[in-house]
Amino acid sequence: MALGCLLSLPLLASHHWYIYHKHKIAPQRIAFLAESESELLEYQRIMEMRLRGVQFVGRISTNGDSDGRSDWLGKLAEAPLLIRQHKIDCIVFSEARMEDEYARRQLRQLRYQGIECAPFINVCEKHLHYVPLGLVSLNWLLFSENGSRNFYFSKLKRLFDIASSFTLLILLSPFLLFGIALVRIFSPEGPVFFSQERVGRFGKAFKIWKLRSMRVDAEKQGPVWSSASKDPRVFPGGALLRRYRIDEIPQLINVLRGDMSFVGPRPERPEFVKRLNETIPYYEERHMIHPGLTGWAQVCYPYGASVEDAERKLEYDLYYLKHAGVVFDILILLDTVRVVLIGGIKPSAVAKPDTSRPIQPAVPCASE
């Protein structure tokens, strides 16, 4: 196992280096098809997001009206010429633009000429590796089915879960014994293990098993969201269990039983799921697959204890639901090793622009 980690970490580092630098050398040049007020707001949004590896060239419209804006490149009918002049690699459009028959025909012809034409949300997926919740629609959800529900991928994933969970229960038993000793030393008044109801696939409840890392009276006032940093309910020694995820080793039993998978969204408690379903749009989508010991959200975003944190993690979960596959799962597992070795993700390491707030057009009209 140690040899495997030594071999896999350089591969993981090489993969991250490639992802980070592949667009830095030759950034993708993008033009936005926008003319309505809502499209101009969306255009401003993508400009503010500062996507890595992207260079925004300007704006194209269907009616040929520049509206007095200096960023206007020309009409959609002139796109082949504009593409050559400005070296455009991709034309981005809003979902609402697909209701325009003329725009659909023109974009289709451009695709036949080898020009990438993509919805704004697809560009975010490609360069941010999450899905901004403000851009998600029912259409996107209906047509984002992928490997996460593919028959062969599901069977292979389950086979891997059974073999790996059984093996790791044996290999990690010394760490489990160490965790049991910590609980007995620092909090002898309560049980070593504790079970808790969580929401699984399709909303079905199941019992999750963990090493206890909090005081016995941690929830005397009712269920409270766990905080990553300096949670006063965590007893001395429990913080160490949580930081290196030793407290989650018993969840391998849940994986072996089929309640969970190695990779998937983090399972939440029914009390929190009910609240989040009412507050966050499309939150129930994360229950389309089995919850996981680790996941894309867990390796990209730190522990969270707020609705905003849940929203941001959902953006990563939605990305995983669409792009789940064998290679992606392997990369997430390798990333999990990195996160565990460094002791977790620091909140300061996560930077994400606010795409939900009202946005004002940044390029003023000439008449203003």
Prediction pTM value: 0.80
More confident residue, 335 or 359: 335
pLDDT at residue 348, as a whole number: 55
Give the count of beta carbons closer than 10 Å to the beta carbon of residue 217. Answer: 10
Beta strands at 54-61 and 28-33: parallel, antiparallel or unpaired: parallel
Question: Looking at per-residue confidence, does 2 or 92 come out higher?
Answer: 92
Rounded average pLDDT over 9-35? 67
| HSE-up (13 A, CA, CB side) for residue 178 | 13
Q: How confident is residue 80, by pLDDT bands cut at 50, 70 and 90?
A: very high
Cα(110)–Cα(104) distance, integer angstroms = 10
The pLDDT tens digits for 28-53 are 899 999 888 878 887 887 777 777 78
Work out the average pLDDT over 292-303. 92
The per-residue pLDDT for 355 is 43
Name the DSSP letter for residue 344. Answer: S
Instruction: Report the first-to-last Cα separation within the chain, whole angstroms.
Output: 65
pLDDT score of 291? 97
Of the chain, the percentage scoring pLDDT greater than 90 comes to 50
Q: Cβ distance 46 to 32 under 8 Å? A: yes
Cβ(339)–Cβ(299) under 8 Å?
yes
* CA pseudo-torsion sign 33, 36, 39, 41: positive
Confidence of residue 272 (pLDDT cuts 50, 70, 90): very high
Q: Return the residue matching tokens 């606010």.
A: 354
How far apart (Å, rounded) are the C-alpha atoms in residues 14 and 150?
Answer: 29
Which residues of the chain are in CATH 3.40.50.720 domains?
27-128
Calculate mean pLDDT across residues 49-74: 81
User: Looking at domain 27-128, does it have CATH number 3.40.50.720?
Assistant: yes
Per-residue pLDDT tens digits for 123-175: 889 888 999 888 898 888 888 766 555 778 889 999 999 999 999 999 999 99
Tell me which residue of 242, 263, 256, 251 sits closest to 317, measured CA to CA: 263
